Amino acid sequence: MESRLTANPLFTSPDLERIYNEYQAKVDLQTKIKGHKKKIQAANSVMQLDELKNRKRVLRRLGFTSSNDVIEMKGRYGISPYLFIRLLALQTLLRFPGWWLTIVLLVRSAQRTNSY
């Protein structure tokens, strides 16, 4: 085993100490990066928990959940076909701003065909 160690070109290299110090600095930086990533992940989980609490509160106020945060009524409100087309058009418009003319034509044709 020792013969393999002495056969390695780095064993007799004059730059061995410099290379080892650079490697040690790299390992230290990797350790710091892992620590910072854990801090970021912890902060994100706190933010998501706050957002979850807010969503639960809104669902409770709208009457969709009980005090135990159990969903009570699904499909409580229906949606008319015209309103559905308008919502679909709005989402498409927000995602693809160049399609506004097609969306306007869809909404106008829906207005003509539906009496909602």
Query: Helix %, strand %, coil % for the chain, to 5?
Result: 75, 0, 25
Rounded percentage of the chain residues whose pLDDT exceeds 70: 61
Read off the pLDDT band of 5 (50, 70, 90): confident
Q: Quote the CA–CA distance of 69 and 56 in Å, as a whole number.
A: 7
The string of pLDDT tens digits covering residues 20-32 is 999 999 999 999 9
Instruction: Name the pTM for this structure.
Output: 0.44
Residue 90 contacts residue 55 (beta carbons within 8 Å): no
